[in-house]
Amino acid sequence: MKSRDEKPSSFLLDEKQSKTSRAKVQIRDLAMTFRSDSSSVEVLRNINLEVFPGEFVCILGPSGCGKSTLLNLVGGFIQPTGGEITIDGERVTGPDRRRIFVFQERGVFPWLTVEGNIAFGLFNLSSREKETTIRRYVQLVGLSGFEKAYPQELSGGMKQRLEVARALAVNPDVLYLDEPFGALDSITRLLMRSELLRIWEAEKKTILFVTHDIEESVQLADRVVVMTARPAQIRRIVEIDIPHPRDLSSPRYIELRDSIFEEIGLAHKV
Amino acid sequence: MRRIEKVILPLVTAAVVILAWHLVVVGVQATVFPSPLAVGRAMLELLEEGRLWRSIRDSLMRVGAGYGLALLLGVPTGMLLGWYVSLNRVANPVIQILRPISPLAWMPLAVIWFGVSNAAPIFLIFLASFFPIVVAAANGVRGVPRMYLQASQNFGLSAAMMFRRVLFPAILPRVMVGLRVALGIAWLVVVAAEMIAVDSGLGYLIIDARNAGKRYDLVVSGMILIGIIGLILDVLMRSAEGLESVRWGFRKE
């Protein structure tokens, strides 16, 4: 009797442990409340999430729900008021160049050329290594011929690719993307998604991608983490079991997409 | 057509102004105010005596020294005040009280401290340009988008590297505007300072021409020289705003 009781629990423990050691990013009981003298705003409550190496995870939620706060916490730019975040078993206490944050297109430095921006994080390299790295990432993101151009001479999509190149150049294991395509027009946004997937497949990075766009999340992610309104909790995690390249008119795509629409309480009709 | 207009129209304006000036002086038979011809002759006289270039050189030298000093000290001071909020709280009351005091009000003290020497006008020019530069740099730092600083943190830059590679280039366009304003003020102040504290330069030229024989043709020549050089300085500052490292800040997105 006793032994039968123990067996499943130890089995569960084993599975948990093996998952723990495999997880790249682990978020445990995370809570965030912003306090000022007169008020306090609870933004995140009881967030538990694991992200595995090489995984593409989208964090999806309504505008202002706190998903960007979550990403800033994981990025180490702010400290949580409860719970903890570990990456490779190491507690996150601040930003780290092994994990680079990509902002909307305005994150590139306007006073540096394409080359200069990509070289920004490469201050430890010799000038020859720098040159090789720059050439490699200029090519990877398709900015060849624009090496000497300044960001203001580039289109929105090119600026965004430049920022991704700047991030990749320091060879991080994780990329955090905070609504990176939010400022782009819808056609550019579609192109950028397939570009990002191509780069992700080539570079094998773990990606955390914040968006409020349901279609975007289902097109990109291995798993979509659907958040509630503030204080944000995880409502559901949807596994997108469609291989890339994804057919956006396949029944499975539409089924998954609509299930998220439903989850959020939106009728998918205009 | 357009380019010709750009050159011809200002020349036409200048010709009309000079002609009107001439007609008015002749018309009212002015005895004090010189005609354009008299001013032209006075200008030639200054050129032949060598006073023209000497005066210009001395004034520019004083502006260069006082303004250069203000630039070297003002930009780092402003950056520190913009970056360290508590330092700014300490320093701001002093700056805000000193800033509205015309630099010329320091003249009596400057003469006591430095005597009749180059140091007095240089000190006044320094005071005049220091505060606009400090304020521009401090405001620039406060206006730097947070994501530039986060990116610099994220890539692991040290504080010193961050100041040099992110903060400084990020504020440069705004600092350039402050520098231009400061140079304009410096040029105003040098003329006034030279009327009192020294015996050379364009300001002294004007006051000396009046005191030593009521040579108003020389007075007006000096005024015109001051105007032309001020214009040239401003054009130079403006063209500096076209430099690659600051041009981005003057574009509208």
Query: Concatenated DSSP letters for B95-145?
Result: HHHHTTS-GGGGHHHHHHHH-SSTHHHHHHHHHHHHHHHHHHHHHHHHTS-
pLDDT at A3 (0 to 100): 45
Question: Can you give the residue range of the structural domain that contains B150?
Answer: 37-250
Strand partners, A42: A33
Residue at A134 is within a domain: no
So what's the pLDDT on residue B1?
59
* A120 located within any domain: no
For residue B10, is it within any domain?
no
What one-character-per-residue DSSP string does B17-76 give? HHHHHHHHHHHTT-SSSPPHHHHHHHHHHHHHHTHHHHHHHHHHHHHHHHHHHHHHHHHH
Q: Does B155 touch chain A (CB under 8 A)?
A: yes
Domain that holds residue A94: 27-98+174-186+204-270
A103 interaction partners in chain B (CB closer than 8 Å): 147, 150-151
**Residue-level pLDDT at A21:** 55
Contact B154 A150 (CB under 8 A): no
pLDDT given for residue A6 in this prediction: 44
Q: What is the pLDDT of residue A65?
A: 83
Comparing CB atoms, the residue among A77, A97, A152 nearest residue B150 is: A77
Question: What are the residue ranges in chain A where pLDDT is below 50?
Answer: 1-20
Tokens 């090519």, located at residue: A139
The pLDDT, as a whole number, for residue A9 is: 45
Q: Which residue of B has its CA nearest to A111?
A: B245
Q: How far is CA A26 from the centre of its chain?
A: 14
Would you state the pLDDT for residue A26? Answer: 93
β-pairing, A174-178 vs A206-211, is: parallel
What pLDDT is recorded for position A105?
A: 63
pLDDT at position A183 is: 81
Structural domain contains residue B48: yes
Give the ipTM.
Answer: 0.84
Bridge partners (DSSP) listed for residue A33? A42
Distance from CA of B244 to the nearest CA of A (A): 8
pLDDT by residue for chain B (253 residues), tens only, comes to: 577 888 889 899 999 999 999 999 988 887 888 999 999 999 999 999 989 999 999 999 999 999 999 999 999 999 999 999 999 999 999 999 998 999 889 988 998 998 888 899 999 999 999 999 999 999 999 999 999 999 999 999 999 999 999 999 999 999 999 999 999 999 999 999 998 888 899 999 999 998 888 889 999 999 999 999 999 999 999 988 888 778 887 765 4
Question: What's residue A269's pLDDT?
Answer: 61
Which residues of chain B neighbour A125 with C-beta distances below 8 Å?
none
How far CA B164 is from CA of B66, B152, B160, B244, in Å, comes to 24, 11, 6, 17
In a domain, B171, yes or no: yes
CATH classification at residue B195: 1.10.3720.10
**How would DSSP label each residue in B178-190?**
HHHHHHHHHHHHH
pLDDT number for residue A267 = 61
Q: What is the pLDDT of residue A15?
A: 47
Structural domain contains residue A63: yes
In a domain, A41, yes or no: yes
3-state secondary structure of A234: strand
Q: Searching chain B, which residue's CA lies closest to the CA of residue A152?
A: B248
- List, in order, residues 6 or more apart from B40 with CB less than 8 Å away: none
| Chain A residue with Cα closest to B245 | A111
Question: How many domains does chain A divide into?
Answer: 1
Contact predicate B195/B210, CB 8 Å: no
Domain count along chain B: 1
To the nearest whole angstrom, how far is the Cα of B144 from the nearest Cα of chain A? 11
Is residue A122 included in any domain, yes or no?
no
Give me the amino acid identity at A182.
Answer: G
Query: d(Cα B186, Cα B63) in Å, to the nearest integer?
Result: 6
CA dist A231 to A42, A157, A213, Å? 6, 33, 19
Reported pTM: 0.82
DSSP line for A35-91? E-SS-EEEEEEEEEEEE-TT-EEEEE--TTSSHHHHHHHHHTSS--SEEEEEETTEE
Give yes or no for A118 touching B (CB within 8 A). no
Residues of A in contact with B154 (CB under 8 A): 75, 95-97, 99-101
Chain A residues touching residue B144 (CB < 8 angstroms): none
H helix or E strand, kind and range, residue A224: strand A223-227
Is residue A217 in some structural domain? yes
CB–CB of A152 and B253 under 8 A? yes
Site from B150, B154, B247 to mutate, A interface, most A CB atoms within 10 angstroms: B154
In a domain, A264, yes or no: yes
Domain membership flag for residue B4: no
Is A8 part of any domain?
no
CATH assignment of the domain containing A31: 3.40.50.300
Q: A82 phi and psi, to 5 degrees?
A: -160, 150
